[in-house]
Structure 1
Amino acid sequence: MKKKQNNNYTGSTVISVLLHAALIGGLLWGADFTSVTHQPKGQSIEAVVIDPNVVNEQARKIRQQREEAQRQESDRLRRLEQQAELLEKQREQEEKRLRELRAEKLAAEKAARDAEVERKRIAEAKQKAADEQRKAEAAARVAQEKAAAAEAERVRRVEEQRKAEQAAKQAEAERQKALAEQRKAEEERQRKLAEKQRAEEEARQAEEERQRKLAEKKKAEEEARKAEEARKEAERKAAEAKRKQAEQEAALNELFSGLESESATRDTARGRYISDEVSRYGSIYTQMIRQNLLVDNSFLGQECVVKMRLSGTGLLLDVTEVGGNKSLCRATKAAVLKVSSFPMPDDKDVAAQLQSIELTVKPE
């Protein structure tokens, strides 16, 4: 930056020297340097005198105007660099947020894997309970077969009735035991089924959480993309400002080509500078509003025109809807109120025009 300023000062010095030379040359051109001829005695001799105070006053005014233009351009470039640094810090914060979201996503995926392992364990337990139930049913069938055999033996052998009855009682006891085991197996099956349902619910909740984190990640990536675009836009505007500075220096060179057109040319360059600054600050304001705008899919392709009144320090005094999509305008006014304070230039003429400004907001 200092190197650029030194180059500007060197160029300005050369311009100043050339201007002085042109001014003195113009004054000398109008002077009469013809040879002095002998006049008859008693006649007066006319002479042309160059007033150095006039020359110095004109040179001082031109030098002050040039220094003022250079100071304003230096201030504007410094503000552009500060804005670029701010956007770079915002981009770094978004990158940090993305890293945190990635860590949360990995944790959610681990929880989903753990839930899957638990689900498999419950399925295996359910299979084991089913096997036990089949064994109990087989045992019940065996017990029934034994009871039938005992009853047949009782009929066939009356003399062995007591023994048969005892065998029947034993078979009944085994049947009751089998039934008790069957009930126990059913209760275990119901318990495993409840555990399975609980595990499936936890897995579903984990999947919903993963989807939410994924949506947040996509949103953060979109915000980071917009911040990067804003940074590139600021760099483009800085390059545009440098180009305009070169154009203004060319305009100053053209200004120095003749003292008679100096005032008109200066007014034209000043007016163009003020217009460019108002447009540039309007773009900055629009970008600040977009960064705080809650965008809905229905806003795409729509636009809203709002009018803002600002104080001399950039504090928002009022915002009104001029035209456009009603829903978008409500969201735009909310975003303007959220910003509440906007940067203002040091140039009083530019700041005066920015105190009442209309902006067109189009969601990207």
Structure 2
Amino acid sequence: MKPIAIFLLIFACMVAGFSGAILYNYFSLNTAQAQLVQLHANAALHDKLINEPYQQERAEVERRQVSPFKMISLDSPDLTERQKYLMLIMSKIRDNWIVDDSMRGKECRVNIQFQSDGALASVSVLDGDYNLCVSGLSAIQKGSPYPMSTDPHVYDSLKNITTTLSPQIR
């Protein structure tokens, strides 16, 4: 074989090799870009699957905040000191109480006894729906200590409260 033919053969192989390498790199780059797009899509889906239920759950909890009594302003001149403290106690229970739709229309009667500093002395279920009572007891225990009047007569009227917890689910 003549030297020129050998040179052309070597040159053709080099060009083919470079072309193959260039094509390989081109397809590898396109594949990598497609994989990157897929990773971004998967990450967005992952965030949606993780964060969306949490956001929905948080919105649901806020929506289901309960109101065991009609709201009256604590600044109302018509309220006695006993009524104001009773409202503060019930408000603290409400703020810690989480209910769900299964508790709609159900009740739980509880007896709550307080120490003079507002700490719980005892809390007991008298009767009612089991799940609602468990939820209510948890809210009552989380709320301790409660605001308590320094007036001995008001404290005497509040140290032993029996109430019915009944969620008002909106």
TM-score scaled by length of structure 2: 0.69
% of aligned pairs identical? 22
Q: Determine if the alignment matches structure 1 residue 196 to structure 2 residue 37.
A: yes
Q: Determine if the alignment matches structure 1 residue 304 to structure 2 residue 145.
A: no
The count of corresponding residues between Structure 1 and Structure 2 is 165
Residue equivalent to 1:335:
139
Question: Which residues of structure 1 form unaligned runs of 5+?
Answer: 1-160, 243-275
Query: How far off its partner does 1:187 sit?
Result: 2.4
Query: How far off its partner does 1:297 sit?
Result: 3.4
Match of 1:326 among 130, 135, 158: 130
CA radius of gyration, larger in? 1
Q: Determine if the alignment matches structure 1 residue 363 to structure 2 residue 167.
A: yes
Residue equivalent to 1:176:
17
Query: How far off its partner does 1:186 sit?
Result: 2.6
Query: How far off its partner does 1:222 sit?
Result: 4.5
SS in 1 for 2:38: helix
Match of 1:235 among 73, 77, 82: 73
Query: How far off its partner does 1:282 sit?
Result: 4.5
SS in 2 for 1:308: strand
The answer to whether the Cα contact below 8 Å between 1:314 and 1:341 also exists between their aligned partners in 2 is yes
User: Structure 1's 173 and 351: CA in aligned 2 closer, same or farther, altered over 3 A?
Assistant: closer
SS in 2 for 1:309: strand
| Amino acid across the alignment from 2:99 | V
Q: Higher strand proportion, which one? A: 2
Return the alpha-carbon distance in structure 2 between the equivalents of residues 215 and 279 of structure 1. 36
Deviation track 1:290-323 (CA, whole Å, cap 9, x = no partner) reads: 1111233332332211111122443310001111
Query: How far off its partner does 1:212 sit?
Result: 6.6
Query: How far off its partner does 1:204 sit?
Result: 3.4
Return the alpha-carbon distance in structure 1 between the equivalents of residues 140 and 66 of structure 2. 18
User: Structure 1's 169 and 189: CA in aligned 2 closer, same or farther, altered over 3 A?
Assistant: same
Query: How far off its partner does 1:234 sit?
Result: 2.4
Over 4 Å off, 4+ runs: 161-169, 205-210, 212-217, 219-223, 276-284
Residue equivalent to 1:50:
none
Question: Which residues of structure 2 form unaligned runs of 5+?
Answer: none
Deviation track 1:53-79 (CA, whole Å, cap 9, x = no partner) reads: xxxxxxxxxxxxxxxxxxxxxxxxxxx
What is the CA RMSD across the aligned residues, in angstroms?
Answer: 3.9
Match of 2:121 among 317, 324, 327: 317
Return the alpha-carbon distance in structure 1 between the equivalents of residues 95 and 56 of structure 2. 19
TM-score scaled by length of structure 1: 0.37
Return the alpha-carbon distance in structure 1 between the equivalents of residues 66 and 165 of structure 2. 15
The answer to whether the Cα contact below 8 Å between 1:290 and 1:361 also exists between their aligned partners in 2 is no
The answer to whether the Cα contact below 8 Å between 2:66 and 2:167 also exists between their aligned partners in 1 is no
Query: How far off its partner does 1:288 sit?
Result: 2.0
Match of 2:95 among 260, 271, 291: 291
Q: Higher helix proportion, which one? A: 1
User: Structure 1's 309 and 167: CA in aligned 2 closer, same or farther, altered over 3 A?
Assistant: same
Tell me which moved more, 305-314 or 198-207.
Answer: 198-207
SS in 2 for 1:335: helix
